[in-house]
Amino acid sequence: MFKILKKEALAPKTILMETYAPLIAKKAEPGQFIVIRVNEKGERIPLTIADFDREQGTITMVFQEIGKTTNLLGTKNVGEYISDILGPLGNPTETDRYGTVVTIGGGVGIAPVYPLSRKLKSLGNKVISIIGYRSKDFVFWEERMRSSSDELLIATNDGSYGAKGFVTDVLKNLIDKDTHIDRIYAIGPAIMMKAVADLTRGYKIKTIVSLNSLMVCGMGMCGACRITVGGETKFTCADGPDFDAHLVNFDELMKRLNTYKEEEKISFEKWKEEVSYGA
């Protein structure tokens, strides 16, 4: 059982939760994730570790309330418990002093981009961050991102804050202005990561993405998260979650993410009904 120590609504449907998980906090590195199970009948879902505090023994997750499990998690309050948290899983993001790096985050993907940018900056890189939101209402962690980047660029889909458009529009601008870029990291929805990969492929800029496959075990024993990278089958949990964006078969990833769309709907509808009866 893992106690919730802090809960904060960062934006509509976007929640930050800090839990006491000293073993995970002690080992966590940027790029790693956890698998959680909210309660006894719950499913196991992967969530990125948005931040960690080794001294306090806490880890932070940021999630969007989408289906049953994330909505159920969103109803948990400070002082309550999450049944299971397993981690840190996956391989830490490879970081080094590359020169100029661009870190790109979309939606809740911005959360894990923050500790990554912080680390890249501390290693002596020039960090340009591009963060994208649906609209102004959804903006969170702008200040944190500013503090961990040398330059921060913001985009919203509707133009209500920062540049109008997608993170890829901002990235293309940057490239068109002849900005020298040594490496790009992109974390966000699969469709965003695919767009970044498609854009940077032509420019031959090394691009790393953190994949968000469906998962069950998180430790390499089930293969639910398998994905084709460079023509070979890889397990996101054991071989990733970071991969060379130019080698990832994103179409396959997106199709696999949709496998249980119908079941997810059934589960969510049932839950909403139960909650409304309860109230």
Partner 1 sequence: MGLKKESVPMREQPPKVRKRNFLEVPLGYSKEEAILEAQRCLQCPTHPCIDGCPVHINIPGFIKAIKEDNLQKAIDIIHESNLLPAITGRVCPQEDQCQAVCIMGNVGDPVSIGRLERYVADWELEKRKKGEVSLPKKMPPKNKKVAIIGSGPAGLSCAADLAKMGYDVIIFEGFHKTGGVLTYGIPEFRLPKWIVEEEEKFFKQLGVKFQTDVLVGRTLTIQDLFEQKFEAVFIGVGAGLPRFMHIPGENLDNIYSANEFLTRVNLMKAYKFPEYDTPIKVGKRVAVIGGGNVAMDAARTALRLGAGHVYLIYRRSRKEMPAREEEIEHAEQEGIEFMLLTNPIRYIGDENGFVKQAECIKMRLGEEDASGRRRPIPIEDSEFKLDIDQVIVAIGTTPNPIVPKTTEGLKTGKHGTIWVDENLQTSVKGVFAGGDIVTGAATVITAMGAGRKAAASIDKYLRGEL
Question: Which residues sit at the interface with partner 1, rule CB under 8 A?
Answer: 23-24, 27, 37, 41-44, 68-69, 83-89, 216-224, 226-228, 233, 238, 251-252, 255-256, 258-260, 263-264, 266-267, 270
- Separation CA 91–CA 208 (nearest Å): 13
State the nearest-atom distance from the C-beta of 209 to partner 1, in Å: 17
Is the backbone of residue 218 left (phi > 0), alpha (psi -120 to 50) or beta?
A: left
Nearest to 152 by CA among 105, 207, 98: 105
Shortest reach from residue 68's CB to partner 1, in Å: 6
Nearer to partner 1, 9 or 275 (CB): 275
Q: Which is nearer to partner 1, 41 or 180 (CB)?
A: 41
AA letter at 8: E
* Least distance (Å) between residue 28 CB and partner 1: 10
What minimum distance in Å lies between the beta carbon of 226 and partner 1? 6
Toward partner 1, which CB reaches closer, 47 or 181?
47
In the chain, the amino acid numbered 21 is: A
Sign of torsion over alpha carbons 237, 243, 248, 253: positive
Nearest to partner 1 of 80, 269 (CB atom): 269
Closer residue to partner 1 (CB): 42 or 189: 42
Distance of closest approach, residue 206 Cβ to partner 1, in angstroms: 25
**C-alpha torsion sign, points 103, 105, 109, 112:** positive
The least CB distance from residue 273 to partner 1, in Å, is 11
Token pair of 119 as six digits: 């680390």
CB of 176 to partner 1, least distance (A): 35
Q: Please give the radius of gyration of the chain, using alpha carbons only, rounded to the nearest integer.
A: 18
C-alpha to C-alpha distance for 158 and 135, rounded to whole angstroms: 6
Nearer to partner 1, 24 or 170 (CB): 24
Q: How would DSSP label each residue in 71-84?
A: HHHHT--TT-EESE
Strands 126-133 and 100-106: parallel
Question: Which of 115, 168, 173, 109 has the alpha carbon at shortest distance from 138?
Answer: 109
Which residue's CB is nearer to partner 1, number 42 or number 165? 42
